[in-house]
Structure 1
């Protein structure tokens, strides 16, 4: 299987973390998003022009959470995405929350505080930063409260839920994410950072 990937993408890292935990070998195809040629080729396999994309034979799959689920579904005996309908629904809840709310809000701060200056688009917009910080604190409070009496988002071990939600925190410091005052969240993040799935997917 081939994974079209860029090490700057937290969505692509989600998939790498799943593959690492499952012991699935992936042929990594690095996509330079600053290259017009690479962007053109990316649009040929994903009409959205975004990463990651998984190629398994003649099957092309985009959207990181869909890829994560697929990798689990083709791996016998895996524990990241349990078969029980209610447990799986709980995992899905966090996949969707992570994508629709948490990662989306983190991406605003990543753009304003990190990428905007790097690509020559000027200074961060203070109003936009303030709005996103306020929203992220609300989301952080939800996550912190959920983690008050548990080590993992769902069940007794790391799952797709944790991987989906934690990936954008790779930019915790650089994007100046206002989450340091949430002790349960930070302990959870530290717990994940001790796992091989995090250590072995850090950009070299």
Structure 2
């Protein structure tokens, strides 16, 4: 299987973390998003022009959480995506929350605090940053409260829920994410940072 990926993509990192945990080898195809020609080729395999994209034979799949679920579904005996309908629905809930709310808000701060200056768009807009920080604190409180009496988001072990939510925290320091005052969230993040699936996907 081939994964079209850029090391700056937290969505791509989600997929790599799942493959790492499942022991699935992926042929990483690095896509230079600055290159017009490579962006054009990316649109040929994903009409949205975004990463990651998984190629498994003649099957092309985009959207990180769909790829994560697919990798689990083709791996016998895996534990990241449980078969029980209610447990799986709970895992799905957190994946959707991650994509729709948590990662989306983090991406605003990453753009304002990191990428904007790098592409010559000037300083981050204070009003945009302040609004996104407020939103992220609200989301952080939800996550912190949920983790008050548990080590993992769903059940008693790491699942796709944790991986989906944690990936954009790779920008915790650089994007100046205001989450340091949430002890349960930070303890959970530190647990994941000690795992091989995090350490082995930090670059590349």
Same fold (TM over 0.5): yes
Q: Give the C-alpha shift of residue 30 in structure 1.
A: 0.2
Paired residue for 1:178?
Answer: 178
Paired residue for 2:86?
Answer: 86
Paired residue for 1:43?
Answer: 43
Q: Deviations over 1:138-182 (max 9, x none)?
A: 000000000000000001110000000000000000000000000
Paired residue for 1:189?
Answer: 189
Q: Deviations over 1:48-78 (max 9, x none)?
A: 0000000000000000000000000000000
Q: TM-score of the superposition, structure 1-length normalised?
A: 1.00
Pair 1:55-2:55 in alignment: yes
User: What is the correspondence of 1:137-152 to structure 2 with a 5 Å cutoff?
Assistant: 137-152=137-152
User: What is the correspondence of 1:30-179 to structure 2 with a 5 Å cutoff?
Assistant: 30-179=30-179
- Aligned alpha-carbon RMSD (Å): 0.5
List gaps (5 residues or longer) in structure 1.
none
Inter-partner Cα distance in structure 2 for 1:7 and 1:92: 25
Inter-partner Cα distance in structure 1 for 2:44 and 2:115: 25
Provide the aligned length of Structure 1 versus Structure 2.
204
Inter-partner Cα distance in structure 2 for 1:177 and 1:184: 16
Give the 3-state SS of the residue equivalent to 1:54 in structure 2: strand
Structure 1 residue ranges, 4+ long, deviating more than 2 angstroms after superposition: none
List gaps (5 residues or longer) in structure 2.
none
Inter-partner Cα distance in structure 1 for 2:161 and 2:3: 21
Paired residue for 1:202?
Answer: 202
Q: Give the C-alpha shift of residue 122 in structure 1.
A: 0.8
Inter-partner Cα distance in structure 1 for 2:151 and 2:61: 31
Q: Give the C-alpha shift of residue 88 in structure 1.
A: 0.1
Give the 3-state SS of the residue equivalent to 1:61 in structure 2: strand
Q: TM-score of the superposition, structure 2-length normalised?
A: 1.00
Pair 1:22-2:18 in alignment: no
